[in-house]
């Protein structure tokens, strides 16, 4: 029987450049900058500079968010939700038009093709690392697979924390 395989990731063969997408804690500006070894993360828009001494690791997995110092990070597919939604919306519209013209096979075919495309994208895109607390995204880092996948429980913990923080700040600014 023929082995049907999705393209496997080239391990170490391709040196991917590391980069980071983060919202600046100081000016709120979201930037995507290259992540260099032994260099602190800085905001290109203002004077903000990384406050922790953590560095992008050369060999090991990143164990701490460079922007906020949070120790909990998760991996997810480097797959834009927008592209996924776009594919579904376009396919649903095209399928509905075909359906309206009694083109049953075309209507089903479009939906099937969209499902295949989504599946293909899912298996070919790599992973990225994201911080639970500040949502900073790390791409092209070594040992991404050492990290755990998204946990709703952990996410909820940080969401509650953020709400409490916002509430306490609101009280402080009032008083
Ligand atoms: Zn800034
Ligand atoms: Zn963070």
H and E: helices and strands count for the chain:
3, 5
Q: Ligand 2 (ion): which residues have CB within 5 A? A: 65, 67-68, 70, 131, 133-134, 136
Q: Ligand 1 (ion): which residues have CB within 5 A? A: 24, 26-27, 43, 45-46, 48
Distance of CA 133 from the midpoint of ligand 2 (Å): 5
| pLDDT tens-digit profile, the chain (175 residues) | 444 444 444 444 345 689 999 999 999 999 999 998 888 999 999 999 998 888 888 788 899 999 999 999 999 988 877 888 888 899 999 999 999 999 999 999 999 999 999 888 888 888 999 999 999 999 988 888 889 999 999 999 999 999 999 999 888 776 5
* Rounded distance between C-alpha atoms, residue 53 and residue 38, angstroms: 9
* Rounded distance between C-alpha atoms, residue 49 and residue 24, angstroms: 9
Q: Are 73 and 134 in contact (CB under 8 A)?
A: no
* Nearest ligand for residue 41 CA: 1
Reported pTM: 0.72
* Nearest ligand for residue 133 CA: 2
Other C-beta atoms lying within 10 Å of the C-beta of residue 107: 18
Distance of CA 66 from the midpoint of ligand 1 (Å): 14
Q: What is the DSSP letter of 92?
A: H
* Nearest ligand for residue 47 CA: 1
Q: Are 160 and 168 in contact (CB under 8 A)?
A: no
Q: So where are the chain's domains?
A: 19-50+62-76+127-175, 79-125
pLDDT tens readout for residues 59-80: 888 999 999 999 999 999 888 7
Distance of CA 42 from the midpoint of ligand 1 (Å): 8
């Amino acid at each position: 029987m023929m082995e049907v395989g999705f393209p496997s990731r080239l391990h170490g063969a391709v040196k991917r450049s590391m980069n980071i997408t983060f919202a600046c804690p100081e000016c709120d500006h979201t930037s995507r900058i290259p992540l260099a070894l032994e260099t602190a993360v800085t905001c290109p828009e203002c004077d903000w500079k990384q406050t922790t001494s953590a560095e992008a690791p050369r060999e090991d997995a990143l164990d701490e968010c460079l922007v906020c110092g949070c120790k909990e990070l998760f991996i997810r597919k480097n797959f834009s939700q927008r592209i996924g939604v776009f594919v579904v919306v376009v396919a649903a519209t095209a399928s509905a038009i075909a359906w309206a013209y009694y083109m049953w096979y075309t209507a089903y075919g479009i939906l099937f093709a969209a499902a295949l495309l989504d599946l293909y994208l899912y298996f070919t895109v790599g992973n990225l690392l994201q911080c639970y607390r500040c949502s900073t995204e790390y791409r092209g880092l070594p040992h991404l697979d050492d990290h755990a996948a998204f946990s709703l429980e952990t996410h909820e913990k940080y969401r509650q924390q953020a709400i409490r923080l916002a509430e306490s700040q609101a009280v402080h600014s009032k008083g």
